[in-house]
């Protein structure tokens, strides 16, 4: 075997060792951290694009790029964690937290001009995720692992589509082809649909896990006695 082939094989083996290593800084966890850190960047670019030298015309494309990176990292971190056996307790906590932070941050950003989505709709996302996250944490502390529901994954998809849709509307708006009122109405409609389904998925999650909730409450009562 030639020296070049040996070096290539060694390089591939080192890369595989890094990817498969079940460490804190695994590839899956790093992708999750990327989602968390992109959230304030999205907000900063949206609000301070002129100070950053980004014109109104190019702003939607920069935001679409950030959203694309965010959604791609969301899809890849779970895939890599399962494929390379990097599923950890830390990852199980970080992944839903990163999803909540990133998507709520995006919709909070859209409450500012020119989109002006009603803040009350974003609070629906916040309250829903807070309740579910608290419930999952309590169950985990008491030995119950609550699995993710299909409705929760559909909720994430709908929110992602809504975020891309609203950002895409900024393109014709920046070019003067879409009025402020039309941007507001279409954006509010998209977020409203997402909020309604978020409420449904939250209720469905609670109903599907009501027996676990009852066991937790019963255990608390027994502990008091």
Taking each helix axis as running N to C, give the angle between helix 119-141 and helix 89-109, from 0 to 180 degrees, rounded to the nearest 10.
170
Tell me the C-alpha to C-alpha distance, in Å, between residue 98 and each of 29, 143, 162, 167, 209.
10, 23, 18, 20, 23
| Domain residue limits, the chain | 23-224
- CA dist 157 and 221 (Å) reads 39
pLDDT one-digit tens code per residue, 59-91: 999 999 999 998 888 888 777 777 777 666 666
Task: Give the pLDDT confidence of 122-153 residue by residue, as tens digits.
Answer: 999 999 999 888 887 777 777 676 767 889 88
- Band of the pLDDT at 4, cuts 50, 70, 90? low
Assigned CATH class of 23-224: mainly alpha
Residue (of 188, 32, 196) closest to 107 by Cα position: 188
Q: For residue 16, what pLDDT is reported?
A: 47
Alpha-carbon distances of 60 from 21, 117, 130, 168, rounded to whole Å = 37, 17, 30, 7
**Is residue 180 a contact partner of residue 172, using CB atoms and an 8 Å limit?**
no
Name the pTM for this structure: 0.82
CA dihedral in degrees (209, 215, 221, 225; nearest 10)? -170
């Amino acid at each position: 075997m030639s020296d070049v082939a040996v070096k290539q094989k060694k390089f591939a083996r080192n890369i595989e060792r890094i990817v498969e290593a079940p460490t804190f800084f695994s590839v899956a966890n790093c992708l999750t951290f990327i989602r968390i850190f992109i959230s304030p960047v999205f907000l900063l670019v949206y609000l301070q694009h002129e100070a950053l030298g980004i014109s109104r015309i190019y702003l939607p494309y920069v935001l679409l790029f950030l959203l694309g990176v965010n959604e791609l990292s969301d899809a890849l971190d779970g895939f890599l964690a399962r494929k390379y056996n990097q599923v950890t307790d830390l990852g199980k906590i970080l992944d839903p937290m990163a999803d909540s932070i990133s998507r709520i941050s995006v919709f909070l950003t859209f409450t500012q001009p020119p989109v002006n989505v009603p803040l009350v709709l974003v609070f629906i996302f916040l309250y829903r995720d807070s309740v579910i996250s608290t419930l999952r944490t309590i169950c985990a502390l008491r030995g119950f692992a609550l699995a993710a529901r299909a409705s929760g994954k559909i909720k994430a998809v709908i929110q992602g589509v809504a975020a891309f849709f609203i950002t895409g509307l900024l393109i014709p708006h920046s070019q003067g082809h879409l009025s402020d009122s039309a941007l507001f109405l279409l954006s509010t409609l998209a977020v409203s649909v997402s909020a309604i389904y978020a409420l449904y998925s939250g209720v469905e999650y609670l109903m599907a896990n009501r027996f676990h909730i009852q066991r937790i409450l019963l255990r608390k009562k027994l502990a008091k006695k």
